[in-house]
Amino acid sequence: MNSFLPVRWITLNLFKVSFLLFSFLLVTDAYSASKTILVLGDSLSAEYGLARGQGWVSLLEKKLAEEKIPARVINASISGETSIGGKNRLPDLLNQHHPDIVIIELGGNDALRGLPLNNSEDNFRTIIVSAKHQNAKVLLAGMQVPPNYGKTYTQQFFSMYQKLAQEQKIRLVPFLLEGVANNNQLFQSDRIHPVAAAHPIILQNIWDQLHPLLKK
């Protein structure tokens, strides 16, 4: 009886080691292929009013490095960008960087400029389809506008993102500024652009939907 116990103990521990090694290999394999992530956004992604490295895109790069996920992030965001501007710039960006994942963070400036919703929707659709044609996974970041735009416009604007995500079968961040929008202290003096303290929250909103795409 006593001579059997060490053998059983060794067998069990060898099994545990083998299982842990197998699990590690599975996780490593899930991220084995390095991915290129293209962020097509406006000032919310371009670190407007922030010190370099404080925006959510920069924080994303740090998070990927910390979690040892091989990925390269291309931040092609421009302050003031609209959906039509993103649509026009995207073909060159796709040809230059060949991204595996495209994050679309646009729309706020369309609303600020009063652009027709049907035009914005068409622009988004073109962006999404163009990215998919290049075999890129797409993540769409939804936005909301203040109620002073009118109930109908506000509702239709917000619903546009959900409609596109369902139609194109892509992942959606329902509202990029969830957890930020209702806290005045998380905004710069213009009440439009978040302060640095808000960007970890924004990153988490993005990460919840981005992380599954990194495993594919």
The tens digit of pLDDT for each residue in 125-168 reads 999 999 999 999 999 999 999 888 889 999 999 999 999 999 99
Q: List, as one string, the DSSP characters of 131-191.
A: HHHTT-EEEEE-----GGG-HHHHHHHHHHHHHHHHHHT-EEES-TTTTTTT-GGGB-TTS
The tens digit of pLDDT for each residue in 73-101 reads 999 999 999 999 999 999 999 999 999 99
Q: Identify the active-site residue in 32, 34, 193, 211.
A: 193
Q: Identify the active-site residue in 42, 43, 45, 58.
A: 43
What's the first-to-final CA gap in the chain, in angstroms?
50
Identify whether 193 is a catalytic site residue: yes
- The answer to whether 90 touches 127, Cβ cutoff 8 Å, is yes
The tens digit of pLDDT for each residue in 6-32 reads 555 455 454 554 455 444 445 445 555
Identify whether 43 is a catalytic site residue: yes
Q: Identify the active-site residue in 34, 122, 190, 208.
A: 190
Provide the edge-to-edge strand list for the sheet that holds 137-141: 71-75, 35-41, 101-105, 137-141, 171-173
What's the pLDDT at 30?
Answer: 54
pTM reported for the whole predicted model: 0.86
Identify whether 199 is a catalytic site residue: no
What's the pLDDT at 33?
Answer: 78
Instruction: Identify the residue with better confidence: 62 or 2.
Output: 62
Positive or negative, the CA dihedral 98, 41, 158, 110 is negative
